Each structure stands twice: as C-alpha cells, then as structure tokens.
A and B are shown apart, each in its own frame.
Chain A
C-alpha cells in the first residue's frame, strides 16, 4: 500500500517537473515584460516586485504595434475564411459527390500538407513583385489561403465521413439540390468541426513568420510576427521591451486556448483521437 502511494507521488512529481519546464519560459516573458530595464538589469530572474507597465507602453508607442495587430487580424480572418469556404465545397464534393479522381485529389492534398513553404517562397516572391503586391497585405492573404486549403480539405473530408449518408440521401431523394443539402443538412452538423478547423488555421496564420518577413518589408505593412522579429536587433540593450512585444503577440493565442482548449487539442491532433 505504501509503495502505491509513493508511486503516485512520484508520478505527480514527474508531471509537475514537466509542467514547470513548459511554463517557465512563459513566466519569464510575463515577469520580464512587467519590469523596467533598470530592474531587469539588477535582477533578471527575480519576481517583478514592483510591476510596471512602462515597457509595454514603450513598445507600443515606439512601434506601430496596433497597426501590426490589425494587419495580423485582417490577414488571419481573410485567409482562414476564404480557405475554409473553398475547402468546405471541395470536401463536400469528395465525400458526397465522389467525383472521378476524388481519391487522387485527397491524397494530393495530404501530400501537400507537408510541403515546406520555404521551397515555394522564391517563385511566389517574384510573382508578387510582378503584380506589385509586395508590401500589400493581399500578397500574404492569397498565398496563405492557398497554403491552408490542403489541410482544410483533409480535415473536413474526414469529418464529413462521419455524417450519416442516409440523411443526405433522403434529402436528395426529396429533390434537394447539392447546395441545399450542404447548407440545410451538412453545415448545421459541422459547427464544432468547422470551429476546430478555424482555430487551428488561425493559429497557423497568426504565428507564420517566413512569408510575412519576405513579402511585407515596409514597417506599416508588417504583421505582428514580422514586426516582432525586428525587435531583437533593435532593442538589444532592452530585453524587457522585446519581451513586452512577445507578450502582446502571445496573449491572444493563450486567451483563445484557455477559452477553448479542447478545440485546440482536437484540431491540432486531428484524426488521432476518437
């Protein structure tokens, strides 16, 4: 009996250790962002005993942070909305239309999910230069939209397979066209799945750095991540400022996670859990 208690205690101790290592860097970001540079220099690791918003204020005033956040939000919302819509139609066609080549179409999408974006970067950059879209948000919006489609198609096809075919067939027999069936029968059943998908995609776009860095080089056109990436060099002597910026970029993601954790876990590990 005592062995059991010790075993359970050891397991909790192990898990606590893991959780502390997962959380410490986050604590460090928050603690540092709440310090003045002077306080940080004196004691980098200590608890912020005199918390101040001066670093947060300075980083927002010194940079077009609100503008970057707005850009990030705009890019995220448009790319996710359009790609989800496109994928809804395609996944519906794959599962309920079973057109010729739907298997090839699906496995192509699965393969494209793992193509590293860096390999697509140079041709897309040249294209955006030619169209004059460099430093305009639409350049990243259209590219992200395309990049999001394969996972969305894969995810929604998997989900649609769990929708009872009888429902769809019954509606078709009664003469409902494919769009009516999609809108009246399939979509109302897809709320949770679509929401999960939207969250996963939004996180990806919000966090994306490489493409934003290359396509948006004008200070006012940057997304939050592309802006943040400049801070390291710009504020080498003032780390609280840099981490205040980091905190601002992390906060929306963490808040979203806290409010809908199960959607994150389900979406990001899609297909594994039951």
Chain B
C-alpha cells in the first residue's frame, strides 16, 4: 500500500559548479540502482505489455491481438471492478475534509497535540491484513457494529455490511479511510505548522474570526499540499487497495466489491494470464496519467 511519498524538492545546491571533466564513478555508483529497477520494474513492465497480446499458458502462448482487451471490456465483472475503483474515489474528499478538520484543530496549539497526532497516525502503519481481519469481524452480520446499533434501538441501521452487494464496497472504503486518514492529518498539520505566523497574526488583529481565519487564510496557503495529497489518495483508491478488498470481502459477494487489482489477481489465479496482463496494462495506463499529474503537482508544491 501507500508507498508513494511527497517531496518538497528544494534544491539549494542546484547552482552549477564550474564544469570539470565528467568523472566515471557516479555512473558506477548508480549502476546497481539502475539494474535493480530494471529488474523489478523494467522487465515486468515490458513483459506484461507483451503478454497482454497473447492467450494460453506460458509454454505455448498464442498471439490474439487485442482479443484480451475486447474480452475484458465486455466482461460485466470487469466493469463492476472498474466502477468500484471509481466509487472508492469517494474516499478522497472524505479524507481531505476530515483530515483538514483534525489538522486545523491540532494547529491551534492545543495541549497534547503530539499525543493526539501519534494516536491518529497509528492506523497508517499497521498491516492491512491484520486490520482487515479485525474489521471483517466488526462489520459482519452479527458483528460488533450491528450489535451496538441494535442495542441502541437503531435496528434499521444494522445491515449486512460485507454480504450485501450494495454495501460491501462502501465498507472497503470505510476501512481505507480509517487507515489512511492519519497520513493526511500528519501531512496537513506539518504544512500548517510550517506557515509563517505573521499572516494569521495580521488577520487576527484585523478581527477575523476563527472560521474566517481557517477558511480564508490558512487553508488557501496549504492548497498545493492538499492537491498533492488528493492526487496521492486518488492513486491509492485506483491501484493500491488490493489488501483491503482481499481480506475484507475477497471481492464478494460475487464480484460486487471487486476492484481492478483483484480482477487481475483472480484472472491470474484462474490461469487467464493474458486477461490479467491486459487489465494490468489498462491499470498502468490510468496510473501513468496520474503519475504524470502527481509529478506536475509536485512541481507546483516545490514552487509554492
């Protein structure tokens, strides 16, 4: 999951040094890294594109052109999976709004800020597998959540959160928010604390209320960071949710909560490697658009 990071790529040493003869050692030092990434990324990325045009098993692949892609696009369970990824995009505004709210409250130099922050961040580092198991028990038909709801005489709210095909992807989204929220909070808090205090002082002296101060002064100043987090969470929702789905619902019931990653995994498990590869290529296509976007937003953050 979220192995994507943020950079404020300030480069105070970027001024060019006087041109000397190019030394050889930097190439040698970069070589292991280039080889490692060529092995772990370069090779499989090239191979997966190739595989997507073949069917059959790996000993005797048959060229089928675009048939894998056509088959996938007409497969209702693929469409469901894609749609579910898009539904998971709904987690992004939730996380941004909630994360901002928490960060703004923390930014008021509230007592115990560090402790609060430490607790809020904790879910982010935990293994999604273990957390997913826990949530699957909390959310099941006769699980803790429903017991609590029935106890509060809110029976109509007690639902089969994982077994109902309309709700299961929403439950996955809930788990994503629960785990990723702390990341947003910590990043936003750091950005707010780094702001120069003069602007808010001036606004306060001019009589701006708390709400106006947050909305008109503080939030606009960290806007580039908010955008960067949004892009990162969009990438997460589209392509880094396998663990949550696999553990919580296995994509079920049926394909109701499947996502593209799970569709790839299921096709691969069924021996349909060409199908798996073609979906992987589509996912990569989407990811590269987002990667391009994230590099661009990063530049904006650097400039801000």
Contacts and interface: CB of A to CB of B under 8 A. Distances in A.
Interface in A94-121: 94-100, 102, 105, 107-116, 118-121
Contacts of B108: 11
Q: Per DSSP, are chain B's interface residues mostly helix, strand or loop, or mixed?
A: helix
Contacts, number: 316
A81 interface: no
A253 B7 contact: no
Nearest to A99: B26
Nearest to B117: A265
Nearest to A106: B9
Contacts of A271: 5-9
Contacts of B186: 265, 268-269
B44 interface: yes
A253 to B, nearest CB: 6
B40 interface: yes
B242 A44 contact: no
B26 A149 contact: no
Given A109-B37, A229-B129, A29 B134 contact: yes
Nearest to B190: A273
A157 B227 CA distance: 24
Interface residues of B, number: 106
Interface residues of A, number: 103
Contact of A149 (B33, B182, B232, B281): B33
A57 interface: no
Contacts of B181: 22
A23 interface: yes
Interface of B: 1, 3-13, 17, 22-23, 25-30, 32-34, 36-37, 39-41, 43-45, 47-48, 51, 58, 101-102, 105-106, 108, 110, 112, 116-131, 133-138, 143-144, 147-148, 178, 181-183, 186-187, 190-191, 194, 210, 225, 232, 235, 239-240, 242-243, 246-247, 261, 264-265, 268, 273, 276-277, 280-281, 283-284, 287-288, 290-291, 294-295, 298
24 contacts: A15-B102, A22-B182, A26-B126, A86-B32, A89-B30, A93-B25, A113-B4, A121-B280, A122-B280, A123-B43, A123-B51, A126-B47, A126-B58, A143-B40, A145-B40, A146-B39, A147-B3, A207-B1, A243-B133, A249-B129, A250-B130, A268-B186, A269-B190, A273-B194
Interface of A: 7-8, 11-12, 14-15, 18-19, 21-23, 25-26, 28-29, 32, 44-45, 83, 86-87, 89-90, 92-100, 102, 105, 107-116, 118-127, 142-143, 145-147, 149-151, 153-155, 158, 161, 165, 177-178, 203-204, 206-207, 209-210, 214, 225, 228-229, 231-232, 239, 242-243, 245-247, 249-250, 253-254, 257, 261, 264-265, 268-274
